[in-house]
A and B are shown apart, each in its own frame.
Chain A
């Protein structure tokens, strides 16, 4: 008898714990992301607050470093214990998760929300697999902005350059005045980012797509490609000797402190200017360099939703999707993140000049160019990065040798 009562007491206790656990699980969302810098965490807090307002519990799981976070998340998905929602960069990073049925499709929500109409086509194409949306894009980052110091340009009596040959000409004039013409974070990925800015600006959108998308070695024989490589090579002389190894934000700081004139970076660099108390259009400007007004290379972030059979988890995921794309959260999130809303149908007049410029440029589909992450598998972009950084850091390497290296990258890693 006593044993029996004890047993039933245990069962009751367990049952109590169980149910209380279950009720706490109501709309409890564990979100894995790598937004850990000050601006980024302020941005993700917008989503968290909106989700809390909608009655959910946001469990923030921020892991520093994109690669670390992705590895952790993928391991958990493969191991059967996925987070409720997980960040990726727009592009191919989650391809294999889709082909292995580890993430659910959100096609129903996409149809209901008319995502195909309100989002730029490159972003839609990058999230749709076999006709279905498998992720929710939340923002658009432009990667090839030229940030320039307005005072330095005014003092030198120069206009911000519109094309790359112009940029090199004014760069040489600035250098003669003792100004660092281009502030560059001398790490392979930023050198590669500069190359891509030159490629899309001088070579054009189609050449950019041919190199990173089709990866067809034929395009490398185009004289325009060689011309671009040579222009890129000339930029080596416009960078200061302290560049190798420098972090991107230290490079941005050179422009902020009037030491350097120009800096190519994604719009996330705005965060550094804002933190230094500067305003877009006043102390610094942003422009696109390239023939025909310049194209904007766009990428961004998405959230994927690991597949689950749990009805409760599915409902939580549905709610999250609603929160992510809500116009208010879109504007507030992107103001803090430095990107622009992924929905082209929201009013951006409350955002800064650079964001408004982004929005205006992207309103013409001809200006939208998919970022490398959307076009190339990481393996190929990595091989390209190796080639670019070798070329950049070996001043006597000819354009032809570089082209050979790119051909090899296309052959071995394409």
Chain B
């Protein structure tokens, strides 16, 4: 009998404690549930579904057979996909580094307490307010040899002036980079400017007392302090690189030839125009793997190793 009575209070205690836990955590759990479901079903689910489809021979409609790596071996002998992959690397490296450098210089420029700072800030940030489609069309007109820059300079009397990058297959991808830089530098500037404004005045005073030249303060003291802002800007710019699609469609349609094709456009065309779901999803899977491969070391360094260090 005794032994039976003893556990009762413990159970009751445990259950009240459990109830309290439920009472405090349940609303939070319920509030998070929809998001969790969306993440699981929509993101992870679709991702798995995409990967699964890349191993099939699906064309217009999904079909769940198994053809192994056949789509991948097709992909890597496909001129267009190889060009797309090269282009995204060129674009990614030049766009991210270019935006960071330009954005930093612009931010430093504005930080010199220039007059009419508000106007400059707005002007530099303005392109970011425009969609990639508008950006693409505007730059397409501007760079078109028969309509834009080249024609204007020639009309001014410089007959031999040539700037035909847009229609030159070897250079066309760099026009996309230029348009991207124009679009993205302002945002980088805004982020870095916010960082610059947060730098302690005393640091500047101390550096001045020590007679350190201004450029040296920027590169050796301010820039390291701005590291979190630089990381934020890089992440934002990197997402822009991965999803690069509308800028290319508006500006060159992937041309001349296949000179400015990018992976996202390859995926879209194969999924929706060419009734080739399998090849499209295979390309999408390669994009996913690439992004994960780039992100994994960073996540490891930032979160996993960082957590381990104190222990």
Contacts and interface: CB of A to CB of B under 8 A. Distances in A.
Interface of A: 67-68, 71, 74, 78, 93, 95-96, 100, 186-188, 240-245, 377-379, 381-382, 386, 389-390, 392-394, 405, 408, 412-413
Q: Give the interface SS of chain B, mostly helix, strand, loop or mixed.
A: loop
A304 to B, nearest CB: 14
Contact of B78 (A95, A187, A412): A412
Given A186-B256, A188-B255, A242 B147 contact: yes
Contact of B274 (A188, A240, A243, A382): A382
Interface in B26-78: 59-61, 74, 77-78
Contacts of A381: 274
Interface stretch (B100-108, B124-132, B162-170, B189-197): B162-170
B252 interface: yes
Given A241-B167, A382-B274, A390 B257 contact: yes
Interface stretch (B179-187, B227-235, B265-273, B300-308): B265-273
Contacts of B198: none
Interface string B218-252: 00000000000000000000000000000000011
Contact of A188 (B78, B253, B272, B275): B253
B256 A242 contact: no
A394 B257 contact: yes
5 contacts: A93-B275, A186-B167, A379-B274, A382-B270, A389-B258
B144 interface: yes
B259 interface: yes
A390 B258 contact: yes
Nearest to B270: A382
B75 to A, nearest CB: 10
B143 to A, nearest CB: 10
A274 B257 CA distance: 31
B147 A96 contact: no
Nearest to A70: B272
B173 to A, nearest CB: 13
Contacts of A386: 79-80, 258
Contact of B166 (A71, A245, A382, A408): A245
Given A378-B274, A379-B274, A78 B61 contact: yes
Contacts of B269: 382
A310 to B, nearest CB: 23
Given A67-B272, A242-B167, A245-B255, 14 more contacts: A100-B61, A186-B255, A187-B253, A241-B145, A241-B146, A244-B167, A245-B252, A245-B256, A386-B80, A389-B257, A389-B258, A390-B79, A393-B169, A412-B74
A331 B80 CA distance: 43
Contacts of A243: 167
B140 interface: yes
Contact of A379 (B59, B146, B166): B59
Contacts of A394: 169, 257
B146 to A, nearest CB: 3
Contacts of A93: 275
Contacts of A95: 60
B126 to A, nearest CB: 25
B166 A244 contact: yes
Given A96-B60, A378-B274, A382-B274, A393 B80 contact: no
User: In this complex, which of A68, A188, A381, A386 has the most chain B Cβ atoms within 10 angstroms of its Cβ?
Assistant: A386
B254 interface: yes
A45 to B, nearest CB: 28
Nearest to A412: B74
Closest 3 CB pairs of A and B: A393-B257, A242-B146, A382-B274
Contacts of B259: 393
A73 B273 CA distance: 14
Given A378-B273, A382-B273, A393 B256 contact: yes
A129 B144 CA distance: 47
Interface in B272-296: 272-276, 279
Contacts of B164: 241
B272 A71 contact: yes
